[in-house]
Structure 1
Amino acid sequence: MKITLRKKKLSTGKFSLYIEYYKGSGKNEHGKLEHYREFEYLKEYLMMHPQTEAEKQANEETWNKAEQVLAIRKAEYAQGKYGIKDRSKDKLLFLSYYEKLKEERYESKGNYDNWDAAQNHIEAYCGKKNITFGDIDEIFVQGFKKFLGHASKATSNNPLSQNSKHAYYNKFKAALNQAYEDGYTRRNFAAAVKGFTQVETFREYITHQELQALANAQCKHQVLKDAFLFSCLTGLRWSDISKLIWLEVRDEKEGSRLIFKQKKTSGQEYQYISNQARRILGKRKNEDDLVFQGLKYGAHFNAEILRWCMRAGITKHITFHSARHTHAILLLENGADIYTVSKILGHKEIRTTQIYAKIVDKKKKEAANLIPELEIDYEF
């Protein structure tokens, strides 16, 4: 590759300085010769016709600065081509670098939380060792994968799920990919180690008939019952329901809707709710008051959901998040299109919602065989 400092004439009476990376040539699919180039614009400018000594001096300083950048780019290319390590970066701590990458994602709350969760497992793997980039190699990467697969635990002290392993390893790999791009490692060691495959998880839900049974059954905590049924009717997550305040509940002429910021994605949401869902909320209180006062996350409330389900004759392992799955299934079963369901649930990708569509299709197939066969003589 040839790396050259060049300048481009602008209509402003200045030259824009840029670096050209010439990567050779080849024939395209039509047999025509093509040259492969990339450009890095330095945002440095020269005056075309400097008049004063000060202008000439400024041009000279700008050009010298651009030549220094050129020298750095050539050195970086040589390091990559010949396997020369940048010794100044060897002693930098990997965890400090990972922390920096994580903080850059703070505005994307869901992504930030995943990076944060993965960091806990990376720190557990590293232990008290101050791992530097000089310590990282293929064996280090393989060791982390093995740690996730056999030693790392979830907050419940259970082994990590397959999808958690997949997610945490991908964050670790993304950090190493970026470290390689930034010149902290001479090779992309993560590229040589295959990650975990992602699996489609089963999403437990309750039917409309079971939901009616729950509505009729006794629950020890009325606020828990109200919040769960509200989630079934709206699809809101626990994290959004637990922090919902009356200011975010708008009673309008056309009906009621919620205007809130989703905790997982930090996205602003505008969601209409049914009249029945609004009746569950009860009378309005002060704007800053929580709608579901006294709702707490913990083992006690989780256990009460299971006991409540048993009183209703439901033997499935139901969690609060099952209410969100229930909402999606009920919408699809009653004619809502998958795009609308995706928007209501706040999914960024339609393929996330398609999992529910598969469940509905399976139930339709089962329903096709519910009618007993007739005694008919077939003539062929």
Structure 2
Amino acid sequence: MNTCTKVFLRKRPYAGGKLSLYLDYYPAIRNPHTNKMTRRETLGIVIFANPTNEMQRRFNQEMEEKAEAIRCIRYQSLINEQFGFLDKTKQKQDFLAYFEKKAKSKYEKWMSVYLHFKNFTRGQCTFGDITVSLCEDFRDYLLIAYSLRHPEKKIPLSANSAAGYWSTFRCLLKMAYKEKLLLENVNDFLDGLKWQEVKKEYITLEEMKILANSQCDIPVLKRASMFGLFTGLRLSDLLQLKWENIERSPDGGHCIRLCTEKTETEATLPISEEALQYCGERGDGLVFKGFKRSMAQHAFKNWVKSAGITKKLSFHCLRHSFATILISLGIDVYVVSKMLTHRSVRTTQIYAEVVGEKKREASNAITLK
């Protein structure tokens, strides 16, 4: 245990007939961040040296009580050998710069959350500014914020988008705390936002065949989409899929070995020869060269519509379709969960419920009424 066992609250003269409060450590303690010995910590609290009225006396009392509370916290920290309070420089570092760096190493949603937080803080925020109160205000901001995709239209964020952004922000706070950039695990005092149940749209096996036989003005979009239907890969993983990720497996077939961008999960996923055909001729670098994230918006929807499929599908629905089709064909939900690289099988259970609803429709399809 650290040799320091005493922390004193001291006063020293300050300009204008006042006193400055500081802490005196005896014996001196070593700052683990600078390796320098120190005995004093200025609290930034100034009181009246000779209060002349009741208001000044009450002010002095309140300030000294606050200083005493800090002294007790410091003493407890020293007993527990926690010296984070000695590192003043971290609190002054730019939290927004840290957030942006993390967002660029993640996927698209992280950058959206970063931009919202930057707007919320008006472009200025240090690690010392990160408090429970500030985070709760940001949560309230997300509930009334507009989407950044089309700012001129002022489209409110959906409840699930707000919940997802809030979850991502809390994940960032955990990272910062683990990296010892935040002195307190703020997440312990933050509540989550509830998700709303929404209908997961998907295409059937028959509609999958229709897409396979339909013409697409952007060939690489069709190839990437069909491969996504066969494998359940996320858009972010399709965009960065490289030929080196596709290998021969011991059983003679092929598999994908990659670290998924969203969950950072190492996965080995077997793929069929039929799925492999959509990758084209083997080469170097990216499998789907020229495939861009923007193609997964209007171009994708136009292709689906031209194929005669009237459902409102997003590119992510291909992943839903992969899961739903497998479960409808009798594949065990645990196996499907592993194919989707879900962290919990409970996430995959949603697709089993969708298939269950379809079974109920099938049972009612035959009637003599």
Alignment match, 1:259:
257
Alignment match, 1:278:
276
Separation (CA, whole Å) in 2 of partners of 1:169 and 1:209: 38
Structure 2 counterpart of 1:165, from 162, 166, 170: 162
Tell me, yes or no, if structure 1 residue 366 matches structure 2 residue 361. Answer: yes
Tell me, yes or no, if structure 1 residue 294 matches structure 2 residue 319. Answer: no
Gaps of at least 5 residues in structure 2 are 6-26, 32-36, 42-67, 77-84
Closer, same or farther: CA 189–128 of 1 in aligned 2, 3 Å = same
Measured on the aligned residues, the alpha-carbon RMSD in Å equals: 4.6
Alignment match, 2:209:
212
Q: Give 1:251 shift.
A: 4.2
| TM-score, normalised by the number of residues in structure 2 | 0.65
Separation (CA, whole Å) in 2 of partners of 1:183 and 1:304: 43
Separation (CA, whole Å) in 2 of partners of 1:215 and 1:189: 46
Separation (CA, whole Å) in 2 of partners of 1:303 and 1:225: 13
Q: How does 1:61-80 map to 2 (within 5 A)?
A: 78-79=72-73
Q: Give 1:130 shift.
A: 5.2
Q: How many residues align?
A: 303
Gaps of at least 5 residues in structure 1 are 7-16, 20-61, 375-380
Give the secondary-structure state (helix, strand or coil) at the position aligned to 2:293: coil
Q: Which amino acid aligns with 1:354?
A: Q
Contact 1:238–1:320 (8 Å) recurs in 2: yes
Q: Which amino acid aligns with 1:295?
A: F
Farther-moved stretch of structure 1 (273-282 vs 163-172) = 163-172
Task: Map Cα deviations across residues 98-132 of structure 1 (whole Å, 9 max, x no partner).
Answer: 765887x799x66x876654332222111145578
Contact 1:250–1:258 (8 Å) recurs in 2: yes
Alignment match, 1:310:
305
| TM-score, normalised by the number of residues in structure 1 | 0.63
Task: Map Cα deviations across residues 122-169 of structure 1 (whole Å, 9 max, x no partner).
Answer: 22111145578479574x455423321113424354422322322333
Task: Map Cα deviations across residues 301-320 of structure 1 (whole Å, 9 max, x no partner).
Answer: 53232222223221111222
Closer, same or farther: CA 90–333 of 1 in aligned 2, 3 Å = same
Q: Give 1:272 shift.
A: 1.1
Give the secondary-structure state (helix, strand or coil) at the position aligned to 1:242: helix
Separation (CA, whole Å) in 1 of partners of 2:311 and 2:325: 17
Q: Give 1:218 shift.
A: 1.6
Tell me, yes or no, if structure 1 residue 146 matches structure 2 residue 140. Answer: yes
Alignment match, 1:325:
320
Separation (CA, whole Å) in 2 of partners of 1:289 and 1:90: 42
Contact 2:257–2:269 (8 Å) recurs in 1: yes
Closer, same or farther: CA 173–190 of 1 in aligned 2, 3 Å = farther
Q: Which amino acid aligns with 1:146?
A: D
Contact 1:152–1:160 (8 Å) recurs in 2: yes
Farther-moved stretch of structure 1 (342-351 vs 238-247) = 238-247
Q: Give 1:96 shift.
A: 2.7
Closer, same or farther: CA 118–238 of 1 in aligned 2, 3 Å = closer
Task: Map Cα deviations across residues 256-301 of structure 1 (whole Å, 9 max, x no partner).
Answer: 222233232333321111121123333x333x243223222215x5
Separation (CA, whole Å) in 2 of partners of 1:326 and 1:117: 26
Contact 2:90–2:127 (8 Å) recurs in 1: yes
**Matched residues, percent identical?**
30
Contact 1:231–1:323 (8 Å) recurs in 2: yes
Alignment match, 1:43:
none
Q: Which amino acid aligns with 2:142?
A: L
Alignment match, 1:249:
246
Separation (CA, whole Å) in 1 of partners of 2:131 and 2:366: 63
